[in-house]
Amino acid sequence: MFIQSCTRVCEKLCCESGFCARIGAYYYEDMVNREVSLGRIRPGDRVLCVGGGRTPFTACLLAEKTGADVTVIDHDPTVIADAEAFISSWQLLKGQIRCKWQDGQEPGHDPYDIAHIALQVTPQAKVTEAMFQLAGCEKVLCRIPKPGMQDQYPEAFVQADCEACTDRVAHRGARMAAETVLFTKDAFVKEGAVG
Ligand SMILES: C[S@@+](CC[C@H](N)C(=O)[O-])C[C@H]1O[C@@H](n2cnc3c(N)ncnc32)[C@H](O)[C@@H]1O
């Protein structure tokens, strides 16, 4: 209860103040740097970020670090107004970003080059499949939990599910994510991971 209240206060500060958002972004910064290299995200790439929450740090950092055209979605309608406030107070220096209320399992038919799937997204396997089958992605980046944290993320991939991944980067420090894995469409289909 205490942790949830603190989280809510921090989220509110970050949605109202670009300065607070930039400080909060330090938690994500080096993870996103590694993910940009792993996914080889370039200016103008169409990136779909699934699970932005009220404070879509990852989506803003991805757009700003690469100049990509980012769409960030969340299936919880109650977070969208805060996410839009966060994006506008962030004041993006590079790239573009828009926010939509949408479930990653039904991403619509707008075409994307690459997707990024947050650790808390449920279920990660179905959303990854939808990225290849429906959203036209050639690549998917997915954060997976540390082994001891799997109970907290029961619908996340575990290591054994990631045999079809083509590359990965490890995250260190006080992070819930152990790694980000890269799936490419060809390898994912060949492995039979797409039904
Ligand atoms: C708490 S956020 C974490 C994002 C983090 N702030 C970042 O920048 O990486 C995770 C969000 O994922 C959303 N989510 C979970 N499953 C989803 C799905 N299938 N489609 C879209 N959003 C989803 C949740 O509603 C939650 O708001």
Residue 55 Cβ inside 6 Å of ligand 1? The answer reads yes
Residue 105 Cβ inside 6 Å of ligand 1? The answer reads yes
**Hey, what domains does the chain have and what are their CATH numbers?**
2-190 (3.40.50.150)
Interatomic CA distance for residues 71 and 68, integer angstroms = 10
Q: Please list the residues that pair with 129 across neighbouring strands.
A: none
Residue 90 Cβ inside 6 Å of ligand 1? The answer reads no
pLDDT digits (tens, 9 = 90+) for 163-175: 889 999 999 887 8
Residues 95, 64 contacting (CB under 8 angstroms): yes
* Mean pLDDT of the region 32-45: 97
Residue 127 Cβ inside 6 Å of ligand 1? The answer reads yes
Side chain identity at residue 54, one-letter code: R
Nearest Cα residue to atom 23 of ligand 1:
51
Answer yes or no: is pLDDT of 195 > 50. Answer: no
Sheet with 69-74: strands ordered across: 96-101, 69-74, 46-50, 114-117, 139-145, 177-184, 167-170
Q: Give the pLDDT score at 141.
A: 98
Nearest Cα residue to atom 4 of ligand 1:
52
pLDDT digits (tens, 9 = 90+) for 112-164: 999 999 999 999 999 999 999 999 999 999 999 988 888 889 899 888 888 88
> For all residues of the chain together, what is the average pLDDT?
92
- 20-24, 61-65, 102-106, 180-184: the lowest-pLDDT one: 20-24
Q: Within 13 Å, how many C-alpha atoms sit on residue 68's CB side? A: 26
Which DSSP symbol is given to 43?
Answer: T
Residue 141 Cβ inside 6 Å of ligand 1? The answer reads no
Give 190 or 45, the one with higher predicted confidence: 45
Token pair 């103040």 in the structure block, residue? 17
List the alpha helices (DSSP H) in the chain. Answer: 2-16, 18-24, 26-39, 57-66, 80-90, 124-133, 185-190
Nearest Cα residue to atom 25 of ligand 1:
76
